[in-house]
Structure 1
Amino acid sequence: MDELALQGLGPHADAQSHQRAMQYFEQLKSTTDGWKLCASALTSNAYDGQDHIKFFCFKVIEEYLKTSYVNSSAEGHTEMKAFLRTFMDIQLQRGRPEASFLRNKAAQVLALVFIVDYPSRWESFLTDILALLSYGVTLADLYLRTLMAIDSEVVDREIIHTVEECERNTQIKDHMRLQCVPAMVESWFHIVTTYEASNTELVSLCLQVIGAYVSWIDIGLIANEKFVSILLRFMTNVLLRESACDCIYEIILKGMEPASKMDLIQSFMSVLESAGILKTSDNDDECDYLAKLSKLINGIGLQLILCWQRLLKADDKAKQQVALQMLEAKVPLMLTFLGHEDDDVSGAVAEFAHDYITVLKQVSPLQPHQRDNVKNLMIVVMGKMKFDDSYNHESEGEDEAMFLAYRKELRDIFNNLGALDAELVLTTIQNFFTQTLSNWREAKYQDVELALSLLHSLAECLPSSKGQIFTGEGTKVTRLQEMMRVMVSSGVSYYQHSAVILQFFENVARYDKFFNIEPRYVADVLMAFLDERGLRNTSPHVRSRTAYLFSRFVRTVNRQHLAEYLEEMLKRCHDLLVLHTPAADNGHSNHQMSPSDQLFMYETAGVLIVHSSASADKKQQMMRHLLSPIVGKYDDLLQAMMQEQDEQRQLLYAQCLSQALNYASRTSKGFSVQNTVAQCGCVEVYTESLEVFLRGLDVPVHRPILHAGIRQFLHRMVVCLDSQVLRFIPMAIEKLLLNADARELHDFIPLINQVVTKFKAVICPYLAQVFMPIVETIFNVLSAPLDARDQVSAAERSLLQRSYYSFISTLITNDTAQVLTGQAADNLHTVLMTVTRGAVESPDVTCQKTCFNILTKLVTLWGGPESGLNGFVDFIYKQIVPACFMAPLAPSFNLSDAQTVLVVNETASCMKAILDKRGEECINFLNTNYLPTLNMNPDLCLEYTQAMHSDVKIFRKYLKAFFTRAKS
């Protein structure tokens, strides 16, 4: 062994030494005798105590077994057997066992030999291993670990196997059943009885083996009095009961006919119940075991449900009834475990609860005892949904996240109960809700929050959809209205706990339609949003969530119900609509709302103004009042940033300017087709703001931050304004393009595309002038030298190239192709060549599809005799037609990939467009000029051109087969 290379395997080895060790590993793998060198090292005791080197040696042998051993000679097989026997002899002589991870690796090596050699070359493999059990714990441990490794290779259904491997595994299992399974079962019994008192770890491993193998061996070998009695004994042994529980669980899951499965379950349940094992405890030390026991009850319940479903399909009514009775006899156990205070214990049986409801849906109408089960289940679920006293609402960690995930499962059960028996759920919830809120001041916060949370869930669990929940007639609508009336009038929004107040606002936002029906409660709710309960709450989490929910509420509630409170709302929001500057903060921010929360506030203010009943002049006045503080500070902030010497504070100024632009953008979210900027009299407000904001384009400091904000505002103005925005576009484009890098250009192109899409021909004269400067800027950035190791820059260039083709596609799609035809002939040819090259050479499938789509549209526009574009027909035959063949024929083009096949489909559309425009001229060119250059015989040429005349869908299928043949 290369001792110097092995030093690189140590935990303290440097990167260079580790690299040398990995190279040595590859060297040993690639040499014929590398595994032998490692086998010799493992059996020589040369590296005793150096576990990392032993593991390295096992890895080399493992690689050999996975890749080459199957083709080894008889001599190689003999050498491998000799190594394994010597290794086991050494293990027998060791005074102490190897580390657990080495024992697992040794077992894996044995399993890999087994799957190659058994039964053809080493039929006595397992018999030989079994013979070693008499030598004590060490080899018994290796035997059991080997069986688990064999299970992973041969049985484990979670591992995907090839057809050949599945056939091999079936052969192995069949031979094991005939030859050695009974002896293996006896060995397991020997191990669990021999070591029950002296080595519970070994017994637990043996129980794991039994659980793994019971799925495919004769169940009678395990489910008998001898084994069941000892498993039952283990269930009372604190050190073994969890493993015994898992083993019984695997036995219960054994695939069987329904009648046999039901007998098996009944026999186990009888002995477990008579032994008093199926009981719960609140002792924390018992929780791990109880979680296993709960999992067992869950498995029993699910298996009985499966039996019932199979008997239902078989229409065996008698046995079906027996299965249902057995299932329902287990429901009280399920409810006991589901209600356990430990969530791991409770959660282990949740699937049983969920699937039991599914069964009840199929056997309705419900019998009295089933209705009792439903009611009891609902009470248990409600109790488990309560927050624990230890839950930290202000700083949620891993434990809190786990509870929320479990609460979501419980809510799913609750929703299914509602679908099963809406009347029962509604009545129960209303009683609990009314009782709790009538006494909310004395109630625990968990109960109040639960009452509000259950009201929130009713929208999902009742048959009515959220949008229709307060429409129509009936007791459900009436009861929901009553509960909402109780909630908003009870004063519960003053409860001093963040979880309660948040759920109150969540309910207000969810049931916003209630306030259209009963608008007298709107004022109270608005006040709750605006005072210390909501937007001025001491909890940042409450303030943040309330800002979003308030925005939702004012958007959805009928405008006429908000109109009279408009000015009061804006007045109360005034101190929350403040741009906090670094100068004012002096570096120490202590704001009530974060910038992201303020975005919702500015959006809300904009919506309130736009949708108010005020006149256009009044709306203009209010919008100007909203924007003036932002616009007024903008120039001063720019100057302060330029003069600031401290880099950290300079960044704070840039971020503040970005926030100002974002706030201004969000105020425009309220405008729509029904309420345009012009109709609201706000055109001047926004154009004046835009004029000020564009000054930020000249500032060289923190350019990416400022340009991103200005681009966003321009996007909004293109949406909201009409031709009034056009006068700003030329200057904005010029400044945004100046010294732009790949990322900035990529972000700039969507803005140009948006302008083109909205204004189309109106913008063409200007775009014709700036088109080549834009293209040349893109080309310059794409062609600049790039460090091959700079993956970030490479990714940005890839995105820019995709954006460039998107820009060309947008011009052609929006009736603005005259921008291209207005260019000099050489420039147009250059641009067209970039498209054909992108179609053929781009490694980005999206780019290729876009390019071929562009070519198809260009052929449609300019390919006919009437187009009058000089030289384009020549370009079709010299560039576009070859591209349609060169791309699919490229070595890197994968015709088995679904995305690349879409590129083939685009080439089909392109060729069909050429045929449509050029007719027989195209066919003659292909038959006589182009296809023969691809070494295609006349018959194949004719076949291709005939296929072109078929429907485009048929032609696409033909092309895939055509190029597959061509590349084979």
Structure 2
Amino acid sequence: MDEQALLGLNPNADADFRQRALAYFEQLKISQDAWQVCAEALAQRIYSDDHIKFFCFQVIEHQIKFKYSELTEVQQQLVRETLVTWLQAQMLNPQPEKTFIRNKAAQVFALLFVTEYLTKWPKFFFDILSVVDLNPQGVDLYLRILMAVDAELVDRDVVHTSEASYVINTLLKDTMREQCIPSLVESWYQILQNYQCTNAELTCQCLEVVGAYVSWIDLSLIANERFINMLLSHMSVEVLREEACDCLFEIVNKGMDPIDKTKLVESLCQVLQSAGLFSIVQEDDVDFLARFSKLVNGMGQALITSWTKLVKNGDMKSAQDTLQAIEAKVALMLQLLIHEDDDISSNIIGFCYDYLHILKQLSLLSDQQKANVEVRLVEGEDEAMFVEYRKQLKLLLDRLAQVSPELLLASVRRVFNTTLQNWQATRFMEIEVAIRLLYMLAEALPVSHGAHFSGDISKASALQDMMRTLVTSGVSAYQHTSVTLEFFETVVRYEKFFAVEPQHIPNVLMAFLDHRGLRHTSPKVRSRIAYLFSRFVKSLKNMERLRSTMLSKPKPYSDDQLFIYETAGVLIVNSEYSAERKQVLMRNLLTPLMEKFKVLLGKLVMAQDEDRQMALADCLNHAVGFASRTSKAFSNKQTVKQCGCSEVYLDCLQTFLPALSCPLQKEVIRSGVRTFLHRMIICLEEEVLPFIPSASEHMLKDCEAKDLQEFIPLINQITAKFKTQVSPFLQQMFMPLLHAIFEVLLRPADENDQSAALEKQMLRRSYFAFLQTVTGSGMSEVIANQDAENVERVLFTIIQGAVDYPDPIAQKTCFIILSKLVELWGGKDGPVGFADFVYKHIVPACFLAPLKQTFDLADAQTVLALSECAVTLKTIHLKRVRLVKLCVKLNASL
């Protein structure tokens, strides 16, 4: 053999050697006698290198697979003898071959079996068994050969396309069943018996073989007392039980007479249950439980298949016995279904689905069958177990709904009503589950929005009955937070119920407003209920009964109150009161905030302690936030004017804006005021404009990157909304804003400070977004009217952003700006020198940017940037062509 070429088989060899080895392999494949060299190398153990041995097997494999018929009988005999000689050598080898070599050898043996078993090598398995005996290394190879043979004959992962191949494989299996399968089965039993306590790996391999072959051999050879007892004993051995599970699954999965199948499954279940394997609560090995769940699923589906056949055959007595066997497995099935591990629960879904399908076929369910559906709806021996169960409850309901929504609705209704009839003496877990079941019905039995109480009369009636029970039973007073939250979540989910029965609204509102809700002792409960209350009020805003219930002045003390102020605003705006009355109510709501704000601001200015400053600034921010939330009830200036509330919000602006000049805790205070200004631009429109210059001046003092980044969207909002109305203001503040931005961007920073680098990147994006808003809003004169030096500086920053910064989002924005400027200024009326700027800088930028190494076309944002770059070039071309044509016309006219 070419020793130099063989060096390339080493995975660490360089590319040239590997290429040479590949070429050598191709050469050997077409050679007439190369396989003999490889066979001799294997039989005489000439090479110790694992990769060369594997290479030799590959050459022989190719010969058997594609050119075996070309060999003489003597040569074919040599192939057989070579493999047997190699196998015999393994019995004496102190170290077993590497796994990949053993697997390849097994594949070669299997190929030779398929080729010669029916003609020249009928004693294939007997010859192998005589060599390996009970030698561990030999048994390992024997089992690998068996699995390779099964893969060639029946493995569904191997595609056998031709009919001839199918016929040969069938003939091979038939011949094996006649001649050697009983002997093979006996060898498996001997291997399991000899190695079950000493070699777990071989035992598991043998169990895998049994599981593979049981699908096409006589089941009685395996499903007998001695084999089953051995397999069941393996179920109690930790290192064997997963493979034993899989083996039992294959036995159960074997096609057979339905009565016999029922007997087989029942006998297995009895032994497994006696061994304690059905008590899965204490089992913490999730890998085993996943295999066990698959086994239970197989047993359940096998019984259901038997039941279906028996019913079809008219054997109702046997069918009833099988149905009872199925019912006995349902409790175990449901336990596995609600397990927290997805592998375990998903493995049992087939049984669950098929069982519910059976129930759907039965016209009248027995009490036991109803109980099987309902038992897991109130599962939980202790709180810890209940928490885990609760996570899987939705899956159970969804599965039930898929097969029998009527059964699900009836089951939930019975559980719910039974539990709430005596809620005072019931554990919180059961009450919470009962209410949660009602809550989850909305998703398990979906309908179009708001149609739970219309359409299907039986469903609407059941839901309406349960909701009526929920709000009238008094269960909202149960002293447990989980029950309290579940109550309010369900009330809000089914808010359309109150359109059908509005008489219950006052009682529910009282629950929201008293110690059960917004005055609850738990901050967590208060926070969630504040949000739910806001949603509830919005959903019922057209109900007159609600109008006068809540128009009090909430006391600000935490973020939870944001929802309360928003709710109060909604109630005022949507009430039937006159505009004058609404104005009074809104002023009554906001005046205490403004008065409190002034007092707190004065205290902040005088505060010396930093913790005190932070606390006061936080209160000020809350006060502004509450005022902002009340404005959520308005959609635009028209609704504010209709309610007569413009004046009170203008007063709020007068009150809040002076805080911007406070030198303490600037970041917190500016954040709140900015948010309020955003809302007022929507609600007051041009009435807010007189306040913008002063506010902007204060917010541009002592700026950090984050301050500017958050301030620019406010200016963008004003620019986009008011356009030419704010042109004088923009021209005045344009360069002060840009100077503040440039000053921050030019500050030196540590190269390793990723946070600072990110802040600058985001500020740079905000800067370019601002320029895009200005140019896109038809206000390019704001830039053009600046000093020539400043205009030039701005233009060069855009070029720099398009080319120099490896930020495709900023690059895209810069090319959009350049394209717009060319469109606006590229004609004869553009600023002096802009035409030269186009050719000297914009055009080169369109080529320089894509040539940068950082311009990654595999990135979607970069592709968008390239697209805008192309648009810019097209705009330049069109604009200049038009200009040239215009000049030609002018010359002609002269």
Give me the TM-score of the superposition, normalised by structure 2: 0.72
Query: Equivalents in 1 of 2:802, 2:291: separation in Å?
Result: 62
Query: Equivalents in 2 of 1:132, 1:560: separation in Å?
Result: 88
Change in 2 beyond 3 A, CA 1:372/1:632: same
Structure 2 residue 845 is matched with structure 1 residue 883: yes
Q: Deviations over 1:859-882 (max 9, x none)?
A: 33333x365443333333332322
Letter in 2 for 1:813: G
Matched residue of 1:596: which SS? coil
Change in 2 beyond 3 A, CA 1:450/1:827: same
Query: Equivalents in 1 of 2:380, 2:830: separation in Å?
Result: 78
Alignment-derived partner of residue 314 in structure 1: none
1:529 Cα offset (Å):
0.6
Q: Deviations over 1:354-376 (max 9, x none)?
A: 45676799x8995228x859x97
- Contact kept, 8 Å, 2:783 with 2:791, in 1: the verdict is yes
- Bigger Cα displacement from structure 2, 837-846 vs 633-642: 633-642
1:525 Cα offset (Å):
0.8
Work out which of the residue numbers 347, 351, 368 in structure 1 matches 2:362: 368
Alignment-derived partner of residue 13 in structure 1: none
Alignment-derived partner of residue 932 in structure 1: none
Alignment-derived partner of residue 338 in structure 1: 333
- Contact kept, 8 Å, 1:189 with 1:227, in 2: the verdict is no
Q: Deviations over 1:781-821 (max 9, x none)?
A: 11221110111101111111111111111222223333223
Query: Equivalents in 2 of 1:655, 1:189: separation in Å?
Result: 77
Alignment-derived partner of residue 579 in structure 1: 556
Structure 2 residue 795 is matched with structure 1 residue 832: yes
Alignment-derived partner of residue 870 in structure 1: 832
Work out which of the residue numbers 898, 902, 918 in structure 1 matches 2:864: 902
Matched residue of 1:774: which SS? helix
Q: Deviations over 1:667-723 (max 9, x none)?
A: 221112497222222222222222222222222222222222222222222222211
Letter in 1 for 2:598: D
Alignment-derived partner of residue 118 in structure 2: none
Structure 2 residue 510 is matched with structure 1 residue 530: no
Alignment-derived partner of residue 506 in structure 1: 489
Alignment-derived partner of residue 591 in structure 1: none
Work out which of the residue numbers 238, 243, 247 in structure 2 matches 1:247: 243
Structure 2 residue 376 is matched with structure 1 residue 384: yes
Query: Equivalents in 1 of 2:616, 2:853: separation in Å?
Result: 52
- Contact kept, 8 Å, 1:291 with 1:344, in 2: the verdict is no
Work out which of the residue numbers 700, 722, 744 in structure 2 matches 1:737: 700
Matched residue of 1:533: which SS? coil
Alignment-derived partner of residue 543 in structure 1: 526
Letter in 2 for 1:340: Q
- Contact kept, 8 Å, 1:70 with 1:116, in 2: the verdict is no
Structure 2 residue 719 is matched with structure 1 residue 724: no
Letter in 1 for 2:334: G
Query: Equivalents in 2 of 1:337, 1:533: separation in Å?
Result: 39
1:404 Cα offset (Å):
4.3
Query: Equivalents in 2 of 1:713, 1:882: separation in Å?
Result: 44
Q: Deviations over 1:354-409 (max 9, x none)?
A: 45676799x8995228x859x978855643344635437xxxxxx88754432333
Letter in 2 for 1:247: E
Letter in 2 for 1:492: V
Alignment-derived partner of residue 73 in structure 2: none
Alignment-derived partner of residue 295 in structure 1: 293
Change in 2 beyond 3 A, CA 1:212/1:225: closer
Letter in 2 for 1:296: K
Work out which of the residue numbers 606, 618, 627 in structure 2 matches 1:655: 618
Query: Equivalents in 1 of 2:191, 2:737: separation in Å?
Result: 79
Q: Deviations over 1:821-845 (max 9, x none)?
A: 3223332232222222222222112
Change in 2 beyond 3 A, CA 1:840/1:119: farther
* Superposition map of 1:171-570 within 5 A: 174-175=107-108, 177-178=110-111, 182-184=142-144, 193-197=193-197, 199=198, 202-203=199-200, 205-206=201-202, 225=221, 232-233=228-229, 235-237=231-233, 240-241=236-237, 243-248=239-244, 250=246, 262=255, 273-275=266-268, 276-279=270-273, 281-282=278-279, 285=282, 288=285, 291-292=289-290, 294-297=292-295, 300=298, 332=327, 335-340=330-335, 344=339, 350-351=345-346, 354-355=349-350, 366-368=360-362, 380=372, 382-386=374-378, 388=380, 390-391=382-383, 402-413=388-399, 417-472=400-455, 474-566=457-549, 569-570=550-551
- Contact kept, 8 Å, 1:603 with 1:668, in 2: the verdict is yes
1:771 Cα offset (Å):
1.0
- Contact kept, 8 Å, 2:569 with 2:632, in 1: the verdict is yes
Matched residue of 2:483: which SS? helix
Change in 2 beyond 3 A, CA 1:449/1:875: same
Change in 2 beyond 3 A, CA 1:891/1:520: same
Q: Deviations over 1:443-469 (max 9, x none)?
A: 333333223222212222225224222
- Bigger Cα displacement from structure 2, 612-621 vs 513-522: 612-621
Alignment-derived partner of residue 39 in structure 1: none
1:524 Cα offset (Å):
0.9
Query: Equivalents in 1 of 2:241, 2:538: separation in Å?
Result: 55
Letter in 1 for 2:771: I
Q: Deviations over 1:757-782 (max 9, x none)?
A: 22222111101111111112111211
Letter in 2 for 1:816: M
- Contact kept, 8 Å, 2:298 with 2:351, in 1: the verdict is no
- Bigger Cα displacement from structure 2, 340-349 vs 439-448: 340-349
- Contact kept, 8 Å, 2:214 with 2:254, in 1: the verdict is no
- Contact kept, 8 Å, 2:191 with 2:206, in 1: the verdict is no
Letter in 2 for 1:440: W
- Bigger Cα displacement from structure 2, 222-231 vs 689-698: 222-231
Q: Deviations over 1:78-118 (max 9, x none)?
A: xxxxxxxxxxxxxxxxxxxxxxxxxxxxxxxx999799868
Alignment-derived partner of residue 782 in structure 1: 745
Alignment-derived partner of residue 40 in structure 2: none
- Contact kept, 8 Å, 2:189 with 2:227, in 1: the verdict is no
1:226 Cα offset (Å):
6.8
Change in 2 beyond 3 A, CA 1:713/1:273: same
Letter in 1 for 2:622: Q
Letter in 1 for 2:847: F
Alignment-derived partner of residue 621 in structure 1: 584
* Superposition map of 1:677-826 within 5 A: 677-826=640-789
Letter in 1 for 2:474: G
Aligned residues: 748
Change in 2 beyond 3 A, CA 1:497/1:377: farther
- Contact kept, 8 Å, 1:65 with 1:113, in 2: the verdict is yes
Query: Equivalents in 2 of 1:888, 1:530: separation in Å?
Result: 62
Letter in 1 for 2:881: G
Q: Deviations over 1:174-198 (max 9, x none)?
A: 447558853546999887544433x
- Contact kept, 8 Å, 1:433 with 1:452, in 2: the verdict is yes
- Contact kept, 8 Å, 1:235 with 1:277, in 2: the verdict is no
- Contact kept, 8 Å, 1:711 with 1:748, in 2: the verdict is yes
Change in 2 beyond 3 A, CA 1:341/1:217: closer
Q: Deviations over 1:517-573 (max 9, x none)?
A: 22111111101111122112233332222111111000111433344433xx233xx
Q: Deviations over 1:872-899 (max 9, x none)?
A: 3333333232222222222222223333
| Seq. identity, % | 35
Query: Equivalents in 2 of 1:422, 1:755: separation in Å?
Result: 54
Matched residue of 2:858: which SS? coil
- Bigger Cα displacement from structure 2, 221-230 vs 713-722: 221-230
Alignment-derived partner of residue 125 in structure 2: none
- Contact kept, 8 Å, 1:661 with 1:693, in 2: the verdict is yes
1:643 Cα offset (Å):
3.5
- Contact kept, 8 Å, 2:106 with 2:141, in 1: the verdict is no
In the alignment, structure 2 segments of 5+ residues that lack a partner are 1-8, 22-47, 62-81, 113-139, 147-183, 307-311, 314-318, 886-894
Alignment-derived partner of residue 849 in structure 1: 812
Q: Deviations over 1:572-606 (max 9, x none)?
A: xx4xx3234xxxxxxxxxxxxxx232222222222
Change in 2 beyond 3 A, CA 1:389/1:616: farther
CA RMSD of aligned residues (A): 4.8
Query: Equivalents in 2 of 1:272, 1:344: separation in Å?
Result: 23
